[in-house]
Amino acid sequence: MKNKSWIIILIMGIALTISLGYSIFVSKKANDVQSTVTTTSIIEMTATTATIKNTLTGTGEIEYKELKNVEQENLNVVDNQEGNEHQENIEEENKVYQVNLSINDKDLDKVKEGQRVEIVIKNESQPLNYIGKVSRIDKKLNNQSTITVVIENGNDFIQNQEAFCTVIIEEAINVVALPTEAIQKDGKRNYVQKVKDDGTAEEVTINVGISDDYYVEITEGLKVGDRVQIVKSTTTVTSDSKKANE
């Protein structure tokens, strides 16, 4: 009987300890006071001149190719047997350095033959920069189509080197631009808060062109030097432990 009594007392003690611990935790939670602080700041930005590019990038090994171009020219060649003039095919060799790049099918519609390509080849001393163009597009069914880039003014030194290629999908050079975060939208309408001479702001509708990760082209509504502003709000939540009777 004594052993059973000790066991009962021990169980009751453990239960009491757990109960007290939970009560303290609940009491502490009840006395925690949360406060929310919202800070609002006005940031000004100025319309500037920028060059904006939409691009696709890829890497590949530079290959040397000898392409044969067959052109038909009227050389007024006379067939001795029949006495008729006919055209003669002239075969010319065209030596080129090219890179094959893999591209996802979702981006395939953006690529066109003839688009300019900026090419960088890493070197021990400094990177080598070349210009090329998209010469061929091979559509495949495995979501990895291929485009061929021909390098202008290539040489034997770059053969078998790895090339980092940037295909220029579209480009706007020296245009009026704003940071992307300055543009606000209302449905399909784009607008900004333009700063007037007296320091106040007014809503101005703008037309936009192309954009990249940083800038948006402004085609109408602003000029270089115009100031716009955006309002940013930051919310901070803090907890303070206080006694219930305070």
Secondary element (H or E) of residue 26? helix 2-31
Average pLDDT along the chain: 77
Please answer whether residues 155 and 130 qualify as being in contact, where contact means their C-beta atoms are separated by less than 8 angstroms: no
Q: What would the two tokens of residue 21 be?
A: 């611990």
CA–CA separation, 239 vs 246, rounded Å?
15
Give 221's DSSP letter: S
Q: Which residue has the higher pLDDT, 33 or 113?
A: 113
Please answer whether residues 145 and 106 qualify as being in contact, where contact means their C-beta atoms are separated by less than 8 angstroms: no
Does residue 163 carry a pLDDT above 50?
Answer: yes
pLDDT tens track for 78-118: 444 555 554 555 444 567 889 998 887 777 888 999 999 99
Please answer whether residues 229 and 202 qualify as being in contact, where contact means their C-beta atoms are separated by less than 8 angstroms: no
* pLDDT at position 78: 46
* pLDDT at position 157: 73
Please answer whether residues 34 and 239 qualify as being in contact, where contact means their C-beta atoms are separated by less than 8 angstroms: yes
pLDDT tens track for 164-223: 999 999 999 999 999 999 999 999 999 999 999 998 999 999 999 999 889 999 999 999
Cα distances from 226 to residues 26, 45, 139, 179, 193, in angstroms, run 57, 9, 46, 13, 11
Please answer whether residues 178 and 222 qualify as being in contact, where contact means their C-beta atoms are separated by less than 8 angstroms: yes
